[in-house]
């Protein structure tokens, strides 16, 4: 079972990290705050869930907010972490228990620059379905590929856990199940979405939820024709050149 969250104070981010290495850019910190607000506005996170970004001056660190509801995040709430989950500048602030999701994926996937973990309501049922995988049914969701893998925590930690990724071992097991995919479902828990930028990760988290809703609607009508692997690859490559369009729209909504 997971231990309680460690207590690790409130000061400006740049002041906190001055003695431990170069601070992340102001733009990156601002975008991380905005990402939290967008994900709440789009219904991907509620009081729970989190988004991180790899440090733009030190790839062996990442930024994640302190333990709080995403909609209430400000720049002063950003905490820097080592990839093993150790907070660098928490200074008395409680940190997310599941920070190991982020650190272990960054370790395993040098290409990943941002991660969203959520319990988005339309995606979660696919984590427990024995018959139907989450697969792309529209061109906006080509990043789902041939179908999303599912992480079964019982295989890594046995029965009786609280389903949370509360240590490095479980984080590493989740990263292994993610493999080269953009999304991994977590049985009875939610999903984790990765991307080559913060904008990509937010886009994919939003459109994973959109695809899940559309897929459920389509299944009610009968047999579904999904995107082929080649269609998904081509659609992703082309559509994701337009990431700035939804980002700027979502950003304007929350500002």
| Residues noted as catalytic | 98
Between the alpha carbon of residue 99 and those of residues 12, 172, 253, the distances in Å are 21, 12, 28
Contact indicator for 193, 102 with CB cutoff of 8 Å: no
DSSP symbols for 31-68:
HHHHHHHHHHHTTS-SSS-EEEEE-SS-TTEEEEEBSS
Contact indicator for 172, 104 with CB cutoff of 8 Å: yes
Largest CA distance in the chain: 60
Total count of residues recorded for the chain: 255
C-alpha–C-alpha distance, residues 35 and 42, integer Å: 10
Residues 6+ apart with CB under 8 A from 140: 207, 210, 211, 235, 239
DSSP 123: T
Q: 3-state SS of 65-91? A: EECCCHHHCCHHHEEEEECCCCECCCC
């Amino acid at each position: 079972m997971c231990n309680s969250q460690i207590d690790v104070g409130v000061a400006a981010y740049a002041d906190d990290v001055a003695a431990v290495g170069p601070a992340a850019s102001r733009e990156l910190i601002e975008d991380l705050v905005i990402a939290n607000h967008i994900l709440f506005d789009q219904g991907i996170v509620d009081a729970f869930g989190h988004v991180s970004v790899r440090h733009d001056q030190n790839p062996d660190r990442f930024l994640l907010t302190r333990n709080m509801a995403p909609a209430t995040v400000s720049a002063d709430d950003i905490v820097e972490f080592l990839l093993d989950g150790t907070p660098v500048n928490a200074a008395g602030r409680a940190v997310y228990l599941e920070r190991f999701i982020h650190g272990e994926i960054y370790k395993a996937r040098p290409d990943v620059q941002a991660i969203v973990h959520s319990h988005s309501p339309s995606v979660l049922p696919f984590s427990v379905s024995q018959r139907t995988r989450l697969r792309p049914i529209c061109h906006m969701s080509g990043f789902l590929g041939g179908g999303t893998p599912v992480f079964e925590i019982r295989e890594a930690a046995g029965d009786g856990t609280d389903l949370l990724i509360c240590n490095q071992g479980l984080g590493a097991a989740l990263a292994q199940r993610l493999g080269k995919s953009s999304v991994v479902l977590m049985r009875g828990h939610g999903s984790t979405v990765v991307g080559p930028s913060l904008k990509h990760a937010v886009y994919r988290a939003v459109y994973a939820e959109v695809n899940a809703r559309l897929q459920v609607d389509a299944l009610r009508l009968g047999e579904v024709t999904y995107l082929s692997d080649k269609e998904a690859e081509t659609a992703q490559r082309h559509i994701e050149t337009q990431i700035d369009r939804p980002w700027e729209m979502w950003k304007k909504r929350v500002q």
